Amino acid sequence: MIDPLYSLSGFCVGLLVGMTGVGGGSLMTPLLILLFGINPATAVGTDLLYAAATKTAGSVAHGFARSIEWLVVRRLASGSVPSTVITVIVLSHINQSQAARGLITIILCGALLVTASVLIFRTAIVKIYRDRFPKLDDRQTAMATVIFGAALGVLVTTSSIGAGAIGVCALIILYPELSMAKIVGSDIAHAVPLTLVAGAGHWMIGTVDWQIVGSLLVGSFPGIILGSYFAVRVAEPALRLLLAATLILVSGKLLYDHLDNGSLILTAFTRHTPH
């Protein structure tokens, strides 16, 4: 059954992704948690498979446009896929515990804040790192890419965030010779195996809702198409600032709810503990 509310959410997120290029995880996962009350682990797992489908469509488009640097994709994946598998194994052991909810919520809040910072200060961040470090040789660049891919695997598997704005920013720093089209295309192509492996791992440990995935996809595909059409007709920098402010507010709301729930649990435990 297709739920129209989830489809509408998918359409809205797809519209923003099409206009800004920001990964849907930074929008969809908090939406599932705050608006629909989905368990954080299930929200992350569901969004990962939703992202795998949408990123596949984007990769096909970039593949036809020849805007994917496959060497970069292989380097990223050689770090991200193993770290993703390890992270899924760790999550499977704490899946049903309160610790899992807390860990995912904290990482999610941090990832949202980092994404918002990248949206606002990407140009300054790139300039600082390029000025501070000399140009790396090919071997150093390859090693740095693998290490970043491993870190990205952990971040995306636990929060479903990072494969968009953060990934693009890192590739701009590591590969200044690549065009922006190839950086974006390579980032999207790498997100396919990353989100697919992470999503499959979440499915195996029971943190994926397939009905929600289907409902989101029904709305997101037309949303992305429409958003891409309007991308050149909207003041994109202003939209990015608005999106960054939204991510900061959402992060604050998630953290507040998490701390509030923690206080309630602690209070309940104290009341029931014999003195």
The neighbour count for residue 71, using CB atoms within 10 Å, is 13
Estimate the crossing angle of helix 25-34 against helix 236-272, to 10 degrees.
40
pLDDT value for 261: 63
pLDDT tens-digit readout, 140-152: 899 999 999 999 9
pLDDT tens-digit readout, 7-65: 998 888 888 777 766 667 778 888 888 888 888 888 999 999 988 888 887 788 778 87
pLDDT tens-digit readout, 98-111: 666 777 888 888 88
pLDDT value for 152: 93
As given in the structure block, the two tokens for residue 64 are 């036809």
Q: Does residue 269 carry a pLDDT above 60?
A: no
To the nearest whole number, what is the mean pLDDT of the chain? 82
Ramachandran bin of 3, using left for φ above 0, alpha for ψ from -120 to 50, beta for the remaining angles:
beta
pLDDT band of residue 264 (cuts 50, 70, 90) is very low
One-character DSSP codes across 210-244: HHHHHHHHHHHHHHHHHHHHHGGGS-HHHHHHHHH
